[in-house]
């Protein structure tokens, strides 16, 4: 039996050569702060995933699969290290704390996750839609969002 590797109390796995830390939602902000102290001072990406159609995916022991997942990629520029965080977010309470105070560059990325998936970030300075119109109903990257059609009229085409 293999030994479980942890970082700041969170299970760590290897995914195609990249270190992935599975962070419990309640520890998210504290773990990101601890990682910043460890040298991971640059957040290069923050995005969302809707696992509606893959509820039985493989996760480390002790990590319960939820419908949504927020994925954060951090860099330690001095030590030339990369780290990916995966945080499970339940559909019935799709909320995480913002990373804005620690990583101001996440402001737009969190707005995009909010707009496209409906995951809210508490204490975010401007949690409004960024890609869709303000009056848009729904979140287009959710797997249960109905695919619509907008007819396109090409110039000079027969109608």
Per-residue pLDDT tens digits of the chain, which is 159 residues long: 456 899 999 999 999 999 999 999 999 999 999 999 999 999 999 999 999 999 999 999 999 999 999 999 999 999 999 999 999 999 999 999 999 999 999 999 999 999 999 999 999 999 999 999 999 999 999 999 987 766 667 777 665
pTM of the complete model? 0.90
* Interatomic CA distance for residues 17 and 9, integer angstroms: 21
Dig out the tokens for 126 from the structure.
Answer: 């401007």
Q: Which of 45, 29, 24 is nearest to 122 (CA)?
A: 29
CA angle 145, 147, 148 (to 5 degrees): 125
Coil, helix or strand for 110?
Answer: helix
Domain at 5-55+66-122: CATH architecture: 2-Layer Sandwich (3.30)
Q: Where are the domains of the chain?
A: 5-55+66-122
Coil, helix or strand for 68?
Answer: strand
């Amino acid at each position: 039996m293999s030994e479980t590797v942890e970082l700041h109390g969170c299970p760590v796995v290897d995914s195609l050569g990249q270190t992935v830390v599975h962070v419990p939602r309640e520890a998210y902000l504290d773990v990101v702060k601890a990682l910043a102290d460890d040298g991971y001072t640059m957040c290069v990406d923050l995005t969302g995933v809707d696992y509606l159609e893959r509820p039985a995916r493989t996760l480390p022991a002790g990590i319960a699969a939820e419908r949504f997942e927020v994925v954060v990629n951090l860099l330690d520029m001095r030590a030339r290290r990369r780290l990916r965080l995966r945080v499970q977010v339940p559909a019935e309470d799709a909320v995480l704390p913002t990373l804005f105070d620690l990583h101001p560059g996440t402001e737009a990325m969190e707005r995009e996750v909010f707009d496209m998936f409906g995951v809210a970030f508490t204490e975010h300075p401007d949690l409004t839609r960024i890609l869709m119109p303000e009056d848009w109903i729904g979140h287009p990257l959710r797997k249960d969002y109905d695919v619509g059609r907008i007819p396109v009229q090409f110039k000079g085409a027969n109608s």
